[in-house]
Amino acid sequence: MAKVISIALPKGGVGKTTTAVNLAASLAVAEQRTLLIDMDTFGASGISLGFTGGTINAGLYEVFNFITNFTNAIHRTELKYLDFVPCNVQNLQMEERIQRLADDRSMLRNALRSVSREYDYVILDCPPVLRGMCTNALAASDSVLMPVKPGHFGLDAVDKLFAYLGYIKEVVKRNIEVEGILLTMHEPNTRVTDITMRELGAKYKKYILETIIPKNTALSEASFFGKPAVLYSVNSRGAASYLALAREIISHNVQRAVSPLQPTVMDQLIKQA
Ligand SMILES: Nc1ncnc2c1ncn2[C@@H]1O[C@H](COP(=O)(O)OP(=O)(O)OP(=O)(O)O)[C@@H](O)[C@H]1O
Ligand SMILES: [Mg+2]
């Protein structure tokens, strides 16, 4: 059974999409069968993987409307072990409709049942608001990974998500683990970073992941050119940090892994960077 991980935080621009795309690609490099699903109607993870309207056959919109089954919405990518489901919402009418359908919290969870055995990991790129699509994602998840960018209100957003998780767990009547808090866009030796690290550490130390994602232009360039960083610039610090994150996540989940870990490929790539 796939492990389903939501990449979520109720705050914009903290690196959710960058993390979802690059974590999913890095898991795929380690030969873990991975499915990335865009839960944000803005469609940023599709753009970051080079998908355009013309290359999308069907997506979550058709699945939630029962126009097509989930398998038809799965798209292959440049990476052998990475598949992608887009959120192909093109206008306000479609946006309103999918948000209404997402009020049924079991929508995604039910859709995933048909493919769960075919993947090791399902990664969900969530929008920055908790209601609607993000709630649907959390209700389908085994765990949540929270990217935090140094600066104002990061801690508020983490507090809010922890409180909301408590509520969702009661509603769906099962556990949703915290996979970890991931520091993104990290710039060492700045006051903002130091204060954020201190505040987060004081309250959530045990959840903070070992891997830290540096601020690195290769990551923003890669998404601009529609590629994950491992394909755009494998020697960049950004690509190496997401490979290290994938290795850390795999190590959390060794007992449940179906596809054997390929540490040599990852070690080689991380060493090269
Ligand atoms: N580690 C990084 N180094 C440099 N730039 C980054 C890094 N991570 C993300 N960015 C850039 O920061 C911007 C915001 O990142 P991203 O889109 O991943 O955030 P998000 O949380 O998904 O935003 P939203 O809430 O709007 O969906 C993007 O332009 C992205 O390219
Ligand atoms: Mg995003």
Torsion, CA 91, CA 92, CA 94, CA 97, rounded to 10: 170
Closest ligand to residue 16's CA: 1
pTM of the model: 0.94
Q: What is the DSSP letter of 153?
A: T
CB 140 within 8 A of CB 109: yes
pLDDT reported for residue 138: 97
Residue 273 has pLDDT above 60, yes or no: no
Closest ligand to residue 19's CA: 1
Ligand 1 pocket, 184 CB below 6 A?
yes
Please give the helix or strand (H or E) that residue 222 lies within, else none. helix 217-224
Atom of ligand 1 nearest to the CA of 127: 27
Written as six digits, the tokens of 199 are: 């505040």
pLDDT reported for residue 256: 56
End-to-end CA distance of the chain: 32
What CATH number has the domain bearing residue 157? 3.40.50.300
Q: Which residues contact 128 (CB under 8 A, 6 or more apart)?
A: 9, 10, 11, 12, 13, 14, 16
Q: What is the DSSP letter of 32?
A: -
Ligand 1 pocket, 38 CB below 6 A?
no
Diameter of the chain by CA atoms?
A: 52
Atom of ligand 1 nearest to the CA of 147: 21
Residue 29 has pLDDT above 90, yes or no: yes
Residue 85 has pLDDT above 60, yes or no: yes
CA distance linking residue 129 with residue 122, whole number of Å: 20
Distance (angstroms) between ligand 2 centre and the Cα of 41 equals: 10
Which is higher by pLDDT, 235 or 272?
235
CB 180 within 8 A of CB 209: yes
CA distance linking residue 122 with residue 227, whole number of Å: 19
**Average pLDDT of the chain to the nearest whole number:** 92
Q: Which residues contact 260 (CB under 8 A, 6 or more apart)?
A: 31
**SS3 call for 253:** coil
| Structural domain range at position 118 | 3-272
**SS3 call for 134:** helix
Tokens 């507090």 belong to 159
Ligand 1 pocket, 28 CB below 6 A?
no
Going by alpha carbons, the residue nearest to atom 28 of ligand 1 is 220
Average pLDDT, integer, range 48-61 = 90
Q: Specify the number of domains making up the chain.
A: 1
Atom of ligand 1 nearest to the CA of 19: 18
Beta bridge mates, 5 = 123, 143
Q: Which residues contact 205 (CB under 8 A, 6 or more apart)?
A: none
**SS3 call for 214:** strand
Residue 13 has pLDDT above 60, yes or no: yes
pLDDT reported for residue 257: 55
Atom of ligand 1 nearest to the CA of 213: 1
Distance (angstroms) between ligand 1 centre and the Cα of 173 equals: 33
Going by alpha carbons, the residue nearest to atom 29 of ligand 1 is 220
Average pLDDT, integer, range 68-94 = 95
